[in-house]
Amino acid sequence: MIKMRILGINGSPVKGGNVDLIIRKVIQGAKSRMQDSRGEIQDDIIYLDDFEIKPCKSCEVLPESDICTYHDGMDRIYPLILKSDLFVLGSPVYFDSVSAQMKLFIDRCNCLRPLRKNREGHYFDKSRIEKGRVKRIGAIVLVGGRRQRFNCALTVLKGFFNWVGIDFFEEILYSHNDFEIGKVGENKEALKNAFILGKKLVEGSI
C-alpha cells in the first residue's frame, strides 16, 4: 500500500482567505486520489503567520546536530519538510512578490542545503534531505489582484523548490478584482481546477 504525506504551506496572514481555500482544495483532491488507489496520505497545513520566524543572518555556521543555530518556529517546520512527499506552497502577491511570511520561511530553508568545505578548501553544498520511495513534487498557489504580476513571485517559489529538492509540478495563478475574504469559495471552476491539481500531484509522484 502506498503511503504519502502532503504539506500545505500558507504564506497568507488571512485564514479562510483565497490562498487558504485553494490550498485546502488541492489537498482535498490529493486525498481523494489516494482513496481511489486505496493508499494512505497524511496531510498537514502550516500557517506561517502563526509562527515566530527570525530572518536568516547568513551566519555560515554549520551545526551538525541541528539544522539551524536559531531555535524558533522553524524547529516545528523543518521536520515536516524533511518527511513530506507532496507540497503546496501558497502566497498572496504583494508588490509583485511573495508575502513577508513566505520570504522569511524560504530564507531560513537555506540551512537545508548548507555550504561545506572539502579538504582542498573548495565549497560545495550538501542536501540534508534524503530521497524517499516516491518523487517529491510540489505545486504553487499565487493569488493577486488584477494589476499584480505573478512572474516574480513564481520565480521565488520555484527557486525554493529547486533548492530543497522538490520538483515543480504545476501552478495556480488566481487573479481577482474583489476584496471580500474567501471570495474564491464561490468560484466553482477555480476550486474544481485546484481539486484536479491535487489528484494530479499524487499521480505524478507515484
What letters, b where the CB count within 10 A reaches 16 and e where it falls short, cover 164-202? bebebbebbebebeeeeeebbbebeebbebbbbbbbbbb
Q: What is the pLDDT of residues 68-95, one digit of tens each?
A: 889 999 999 999 999 999 999 999 999 9
Among 4-8, 84-88, 111-115, 166-170, the range scoring the smallest mean pLDDT is: 111-115
* pTM score of the predicted model: 0.90
User: pLDDT per residue over 146-182, tens digit each?
Assistant: 888 899 999 999 999 999 999 999 999 999 988 889 9
In order of start, what are the domains of the chain with their CATH numbers?
Answer: 3-205 (3.40.50.360)
> How large is the average pLDDT for residues 170-197?
94
pLDDT of 119: 63
Element (H, E) at 125: strand 123-125
Mean pLDDT to the nearest integer, 184-205: 95
